[in-house]
Amino acid sequence: MSEWNPPRFNASCFVNPRLSPAETSLAAAAPGVVDEEGFARAVAEITRWPDYRPTPLVPLPGLAKTLGIGRLYYKDESGRFGLGAFKALGGAYAVLRHLQNVLGDEVTAADLVAGKYRARTSGITVTAATDGNHGKAVAWGARLFGCRAVIYLHQDVSEGRAQAIAAYGAEIRRIADNYDASVRACATDAAENGWQVISDTSWDGYQDVPRHVMHGYGVMLKEMLDQIPRGEELTHVFIQAGVGGLPAAVAGYLWLELDALRPKIVVVEPEKAACHYASAEAGHPVTVTGKLDTLMAGLACGEVSPLAWRLLDAAGFAFLKIPDDAAIFAMKTLAAGQSDDPPIVGGEAGVGGLAGLIAAAGDAEIKDSLLLTGQSRVLVIGSEGATDPVLYRQWVGRKPEDVLAA
């Protein structure tokens, strides 16, 4: 890819005035959200699953130079368990924890995979509402561990993503409304039928499962800390948000592991579904209404998860909202490679953090407010690959397999 200067997008930034001081403990700032024991249990469990392997942490020195920062690392989750996204770490792990709650903690994942309890698990139904990746993870986990899954999709989830979920044996139910309406329909039907909701968002009386989901995400963060060069200290993480489980897990894990040396967390959202941005401005959870019609479908959420918000309100250094064209630009930039950077396939929601970084680098005022300099060392998490290859080709102009073959 030829050299370019960071473009100017119509992005907005809000620096959090309620950010907890560096010396504050996570337990004091946001008690009961995530904890060391929960992360450790998830890591010990998931790393024993069939076909587990760490995903790569890819340095992008060419892009870092262009953006005017010191280092840039891209955690590429496109190969996670063959699902194309990081969500298996959360959704499938929460399915396992539910089955263990029903059958007993002595039941292992290996027992379930081997079908030892199939006579009992086959009568258990888990359900979830999804923009795509979380539902696929729940469906995959249900098939892996031997129970039934019913997945709710809102009207804007592509048919390609619906088919990918159905391929794991899940029953698909469409809701003619947005994501938040599908969450409510899922919860209502679950209550009527005795199903277990496996959601990455929380509500009054429902927090254990979203907590399991966030703890599962800790696997990729442990991998990242193991992979980053010795002595390298991150200064920033730009991380995309839907309901908030991913950025809260990132912020919580790094807070617990790095304490006062933790990096600045910049939460990135589509401008048409920026519920965290609106909540940060208001100082309390705010619901964003309307169609939420962003092409970053995996981030099209109008309500924050209250559990995740409790942590992000204390841990989010800043909140950034970006237009859809920033995501397309980030996808194309990754696919082409900058200077000698390797080409990478990143999906439209998965590149949200990188798109936010590019938008910030192209706006001097935002760049200064985020304290980005030539010495900054930044992590972005590529949370999905081309989970809908048809849409990927439409926006990037190339097939994902051609990008990877370059």
Residue type, 123: G
Residues 6+ apart with CB under 8 A from 49: 81, 109, 144
Domain positions in the chain: 12-85+209-405, 88-206
Domains 12-85+209-405 and 88-206 alike in fold: yes
Contact 338, 2 (CB under 8 A): no
Q: Token digits for 328? A: 């397309």
Please measure the distance between the N-terminal and C-terminal CA atoms of the chain and give it in whole angstroms: 12
Q: Token digits for 236? A: 């920033």
User: Which of 134, 366, 334, 343 minimizes the C-alpha distance to 236?
Assistant: 366
DSSP 229-262: PTT----EEEEE-SSSHHHHHHHHHHHHHHGGGP
Residue type, 278: A
Q: What is the CATH number of domain 12-85+209-405?
A: 3.40.50.1100
User: Which of 109, 212, 165 minimizes the C-alpha distance to 387?
Assistant: 165
- pLDDT value at residue 290: 83
Residues 6+ apart with CB under 8 A from 38: 211, 212, 214, 215, 218
- pLDDT value at residue 136: 92
Pick the CATH number of 88-206 from 3.30.300.30, 3.40.50.1970, 3.40.50.1100, 3.90.700.10: 3.40.50.1100
- pLDDT value at residue 43: 98
Cα 136 from chain centre: 14
Residues marked as catalytic:
87, 131
CA–CA distance, 247 with 215 (Å, rounded to integer): 12
Q: Token digits for 324? A: 């859809």
Element (H or E) spanning 146, and its range?
A: none
CA–CA distance, 364 with 359 (Å, rounded to integer): 10
CA–CA distance, 287 with 132 (Å, rounded to integer): 21
User: Which of 234, 271, 232, 236 minimizes the C-alpha distance to 370?
Assistant: 236
User: Which of 283, 285, 222, 282 minimizes the C-alpha distance to 252?
Assistant: 222
Q: Length of the chain in residues, anyone?
A: 406
CA–CA distance, 346 with 328 (Å, rounded to integer): 10
Query: Mind listing the pLDDT tens digit of every residue in the chain (406 residues)?
Result: 445 677 899 999 999 999 999 999 999 999 999 999 999 999 999 999 999 999 999 999 999 999 999 999 999 999 999 999 999 899 999 999 999 999 999 999 999 999 999 999 999 999 999 887 889 999 999 999 999 999 999 888 888 889 989 999 999 999 998 888 898 999 999 999 999 999 989 999 999 999 999 999 999 999 999 999 999 999 999 999 999 999 999 999 999 999 999 999 999 999 999 999 999 999 999 999 888 889 998 898 899 999 999 999 999 999 999 999 999 999 999 999 988 999 999 999 999 999 999 999 999 999 999 999 999 999 999 999 998 899 999 999 999 999 999 8
- pLDDT value at residue 385: 95
Tokens 């190969």, residue located: 79
Whole-structure pTM value: 0.94
Q: Token digits for 246? A: 């991913």
Q: Token digits for 254? A: 């790094």
Residues 6+ apart with CB under 8 A from 310: 30, 33
Q: In what order do the strands lie in the sheet with 196-197?
A: 171-175, 148-154, 125-130, 196-197
- pLDDT value at residue 310: 97
Is 20 strand, coil or helix? coil
CA–CA distance, 80 with 85 (Å, rounded to integer): 6
Phi/psi for 266 (5° steps) reads -110, 115
- pLDDT value at residue 156: 81
Residues 6+ apart with CB under 8 A from 245: 90, 200, 201, 210, 213, 214, 217, 305, 308
- pLDDT value at residue 132: 77
Q: 254: how many CB neighbours lie within 10 A of its CB?
A: 23
